[in-house]
Chain A
Amino acid sequence: MVDSYRPKDLKDALRIRGEYGSTPLAGGTDLMVRYQSWAGTLPLFTNSVMFVGHLHELKYIKKIENSLEVGGTATLSMVADHPDTPRVLRDAVLSIAAPALRNNATLTGNICNASPAGDSVCALYALDALIRLEKNGSSRELPVVEFITGPGRTLLGKDELVTAITIPLKNSSIDNFTKVGTRRANALSKLSFTGIADYKNGRIDSIALTFGAVGPTVVRSVELEKKLLGLSRAELKAGKESILSDYSTVIVPIDDQRSTAVYRKKVALNLLDKFINEVADYE
């Protein structure tokens, strides 16, 4: 049996977190399943727990200038319902589980869980989302790519909480989120893909390509993306094979109970292929 705390507000939460290092529990949809035990017994937490899902100060989504700020306890349903949510994120969030789960689970939880199959994470990587971490007296902001360091691992300090996720709103012309799940709904990902791209004066001005569940973290290669910047439609088309072969070196999935490495890799590349065609054929 472990202790649990229910802070009355954010300040209290930061204090408790600083003092006891309690595990924040928001929707509980990861934690309660991870520590699940025999029905009727307590979940097998080993560290003390702090409930944060009720913290109203963090239960918001708002547009601030050219960004969307998602509060640290905003639920997936809130993200899906907000009119300014970028389409790839909305699609990603709506691909997670089913309504009852999305009503309770938070975006922060999906990120902090740091699963390579986290669907919102695949989109957030492509959107260059920033994670705001706060502790008693200070705060810092990290790009999501840096924040997540490995499967289940993040740079979250023992005394910190995630209080917001900031998503720059770019209004990209071409975007796509595709999830390949174990069934058509309420499914975990075998793999996922996000692509976002834009042209300026006939040349690629911005591009982001991310792949979920094909490596220890969501895969995004800024280096490879750089090679695509400045390409014209024709150059993109002509260079497709070499782009695919570049990406085939960074996509290194594994076999597990949901799918095979071969399938994951092949389909990830198919989706990339399809997206490149879409970009090359745009307008």
Chain B
Amino acid sequence: MKEIKFVLNGKEVSVKADPLKRLLDVLREDKKMTGVKEGCGEGECGACAVLKDGVLVNSCMIPLGAAEGSEIITPEGIRDTEKGKCIIDAFGTAGAVQCGFCTPGMMMATDALLTQNKKPSVDEIREALSGNLCRCTGYDLIVKGVQIASERGKDLW
């Protein structure tokens, strides 16, 4: 057990845990950030996606100790921001949400993409979402959701 500090959704936090505990478990269990989902626990699905120091990563493969001192943003950290609302609304408009289990991760991937590329093409969107698996939608309407977010949010990113 160690006391480990990092910045979570803009606030400095400190967690007492084994540094080898998965960041995913720390976020879900210790910090009750259940917007971070576990779809596979093996890096395949992107349901556990968070931003670490500004880039998209899968929290199921990161031990807490490797996140020490870093800035972590979970779906809880962006859903109430202008950007988050924009993505959520766009997903709603497009019909991008079905069972919704993949969707918070999709929101994180969308934010990461739009941060890098304000006006991505369909191919670029599909590439950026390729690590976020969705079994319900077949992706078409998620791609559309990202397009709508990029259009509506052109002044946000």
What residue of chain A has the Cβ atom nearest to residue B18's Cβ? A42
Give the chain B neighbours of A260 by CB distance below 8 A.
none
Over the window 81-98 of chain A, the binary record of Cβ atoms lying under 8 Å from chain B Cβ atoms (1 yes, 0 no) is: 000000000000000011
* B42–A100 CB distance below 8 A: no
How many whole Å from B45's CB to the nearest CB in chain A?
9
What residue of chain A has the Cβ atom nearest to residue B68's Cβ? A6
Give the chain A neighbours of B60 by CB distance below 8 A.
32
With A33-B42, A45-B20, A186-B44 as given contacts, are A28 and B66 in contact (CB-CB < 8 Å)?
yes
* B20–A99 CB distance below 8 A: no
How many whole Å from A47's CB to the nearest CB in chain B?
12
What residue of chain A has the Cβ atom nearest to residue B55's Cβ? A103
* A6–B109 CB distance below 8 A: no
With A43-B22, A51-B66 as given contacts, are A104 and B61 in contact (CB-CB < 8 Å)?
yes
Give the chain B neighbours of A98 by CB distance below 8 A.
46, 130-132
* A100–B38 CB distance below 8 A: no
Give the chain B neighbours of A99 by CB distance below 8 A.
56, 109, 112, 127-128, 130-131
At the interface, yes or no: A224 with Cβ under 8 Å from chain B? no
- The one of B19, B25, B44, B127 that contacts A39, using a Cβ cutoff of 8 Å: B25
At the interface, yes or no: B155 with Cβ under 8 Å from chain A? no
* A185–B130 CB distance below 8 A: yes
* A28–B62 CB distance below 8 A: yes
* B61–A27 CB distance below 8 A: yes
Give the chain B neighbours of A36 by CB distance below 8 A.
41-42
Give the chain A neighbours of B120 by CB distance below 8 A.
none
How many whole Å from A270's CB to the nearest CB in chain B?
26
B contacts, CB < 8 Å to A: 18-22, 25, 29, 38, 41-44, 46, 49, 52, 55-58, 60-63, 65-66, 68-69, 109, 112, 127-128, 130-133
Query: Once bound together, how far apart are the Cα atoms of A39 and B41, in whole Å?
Result: 7
At the interface, yes or no: A77 with Cβ under 8 Å from chain B? yes
A contacts, CB < 8 Å to B: 1-2, 4, 6, 25, 27-29, 32-33, 36, 39-40, 42-43, 45, 49, 51, 53-54, 77, 97-101, 103-104, 185-186
With A45-B20, A100-B46 as given contacts, are A51 and B63 in contact (CB-CB < 8 Å)?
yes
* A104–B62 CB distance below 8 A: yes
With A40-B29, A42-B21, A43-B20 as given contacts, are A101 and B63 in contact (CB-CB < 8 Å)?
no
How many whole Å from B6's CB to the nearest CB in chain A?
11
Give the chain B neighbours of A97 by CB distance below 8 A.
43, 131
Give the chain B neighbours of A1 by CB distance below 8 A.
18, 20
Query: Once bound together, how far apart are the Cα atoms of A49 and B20, in whole Å?
Result: 8
* A32–B63 CB distance below 8 A: yes
Give the chain B neighbours of A28 by CB distance below 8 A.
61-63, 66
* B63–A43 CB distance below 8 A: yes
Query: Once bound together, how far apart are the Cα atoms of A43 and B63, in whole Å?
Result: 9
* B65–A4 CB distance below 8 A: yes
How many whole Å from A156's CB to the nearest CB in chain B?
20
Residue of A43, A45, A51, A99 with highest tally of chain B CB at under 10 A: A99
Give the chain A neighbours of B109 by CB distance below 8 A.
99-100
